Amino acid sequence: MGNSGKLAPETLNAQALRQIDAQTGGLTPGIFPSTTYVRDRDYELINPDHSYGRDENPGFVVAEKVLAELEAGAAGLLFSSGMSAAMAIVQTLKPGDRIVAPKIMYWGLRKWLVVFCEQWGLELDLFDPSEPDALVRTVEQGETRLVWMESPCNPTWDVIDISAAADVARGVGATLVVDSTIPTPVLTQPIRHGADLVVHSATKYLNGHCDVVAGAVVTAREDELWERISRVRLQGGAVLGSFEAWLLQRGLRTLFLRVRKASESALAIARRFDGHPALKTVLYPGLPSHPGHEIAKRQMDGGFGGMLSLRVKGGAERALEIVKRCQVFTRATSLGGVESLIEHRYSIEGAGSPIPADLIRLSIGIESVDDLISDLELALA
């Protein structure tokens, strides 16, 4: 990428690596809806890189190159959702292979893993991410093919040490996958800490505007595993539409501004409500009282993220009451958009959920932090 090594990531990202549209000179890329590519009179492809549109679209490449650069990886691929990105990795495994993953993680993926592993003869062992040695102990209990992790873990924000996880995974020849949807490459670059693959729900911060469902995988190396993941996408066709790919590359350009603002506001909110009489605790890795704070300080650069949770006194009923009283926060699931969202996860996940019933999850957007604080103050009063 020319002199990209000398430029700061936010510069590279704002300019999308200066990927000027070669055909028109357009500063921004075009949208490429074509599903097929033409051959000339000698029956040669006019452009040898493109023949059929299931997974070939010049519109994907813009964001893929930027993401690979931001994650310090060798290559990236976009997928039709965060779930399909994750599934593409799991689908490279063989019956009998063992996955180690945290108990507290994106619930949709955990739910799918439990059923899929059972049906396809994969072994799945879940560890408690709030216990410092649980990952290492679980990996050492048997032959491990894949170690899956998030950090911070949604929605308790337990922090897992990526470098330590990478050491143990490397030691047993397992692949370390980090779902880095929450910190984004602005705050954490898992590959620099030893991860093999980074997964994103690009639906969240990467796109940032709650108007595209998308996913991405970035690899540390273009190896045989990467070949297999690429083939899953090619053959399964879990790709974005051309317009969604265009929206994603557009939203991505403001990632640094959005994530930094959300992190700053989340820290201010966590500090403001830490010790509030209506709350049992504020869960945020930026608070020194958070058990993961020291690891987060080492692993996260420039902030602790835009996500935090409040555990309220009075249980599920009281938590729901508070959520219902908010007027600036919007009641909706998902996260990572420019508007702040509030959610009672237990109501969504239901009985059997490992999420405490008194927990309220906040996704902080880019509004005035004073407005957000006043809204919560009124709701908690």
Ligand X SMILES: *Cc1c(COP(=O)(O)O)cnc(C)c1O
Residues that bind ligand X (CB under 6 A): 81-83, 106, 108-109, 150, 154, 179, 181-182, 201, 203-204, 213, 215
- 266-269 long-range contacts (CB < 8 A, ≥24 apart) are 266/304, 266/305, 266/306, 266/307, 266/308, 266/362, 266/364, 267/303, 267/304, 268/369, 268/373, 269/308, 269/362, 269/364, 269/369, 269/372, 269/373, 269/376
DSSP state of 154: T
If the CB atoms of residues 138 and 181 are measured against ligand X, the closer one turns out to be 181
Active-site entry in 65, 204, 258, 361: 204
Rounded to whole angstroms, the Cα distance separating 187 from 180 reads 10
- How near is the Cβ of 181 to ligand X at its closest, in Å? 4
Active-site entry in 55, 161, 179, 358: 179
Amino acid identity of residue 7, one-letter, is L
- How near is the Cβ of 297 to ligand X at its closest, in Å? 21
Q: Is 54 a catalytic residue?
A: yes
If the CB atoms of residues 92 and 151 are measured against ligand X, the closer one turns out to be 151
Please check whether residue 244 is in contact with residue 261, taking contact to mean a CB–CB distance below 8 angstroms: no
- How near is the Cβ of 200 to ligand X at its closest, in Å? 8
If the CB atoms of residues 181 and 281 are measured against ligand X, the closer one turns out to be 181
If the CB atoms of residues 59 and 102 are measured against ligand X, the closer one turns out to be 102
Q: Is 106 a catalytic residue?
A: yes
Please check whether residue 148 is in contact with residue 102, taking contact to mean a CB–CB distance below 8 angstroms: yes
- How near is the Cβ of 334 to ligand X at its closest, in Å? 7
- How near is the Cβ of 254 to ligand X at its closest, in Å? 19
Active-site entry in 54, 103, 297, 325: 54
If the CB atoms of residues 29 and 336 are measured against ligand X, the closer one turns out to be 336
Strand order, beta sheet including 175-179: 75-79, 215-219, 197-201, 175-179, 146-150, 98-102, 123-127
Q: Is 370 a catalytic residue?
A: no
Amino acid identity of residue 22, one-letter, is A
- The dihedral built from the CA positions of residue 224, 228, 230 and 231, taken in this order, carries a sign that is positive
Structure-block tokens of residue 37: 């590519």
Q: Is 179 a catalytic residue?
A: yes
Rounded to whole angstroms, the Cα distance separating 109 from 341 reads 21
- How near is the Cβ of 152 to ligand X at its closest, in Å? 10
Rounded to whole angstroms, the Cα distance separating 184 from 305 reads 8
If the CB atoms of residues 17 and 146 are measured against ligand X, the closer one turns out to be 146
If the CB atoms of residues 12 and 217 are measured against ligand X, the closer one turns out to be 217
Within the chain, where are the H helices? 9-14, 58-70, 82-90, 107-120, 134-140, 162-171, 184-187, 224-236, 242-252, 255-273, 293-299, 315-325, 345-349, 369-380
- How near is the Cβ of 188 to ligand X at its closest, in Å? 13
Active-site entry in 55, 97, 98, 106: 106
Give the torsion through C-alpha atoms of 41, 42, 43, 45, to 10 deg: -90
Catalytic machinery residues: 54, 106, 179, 204
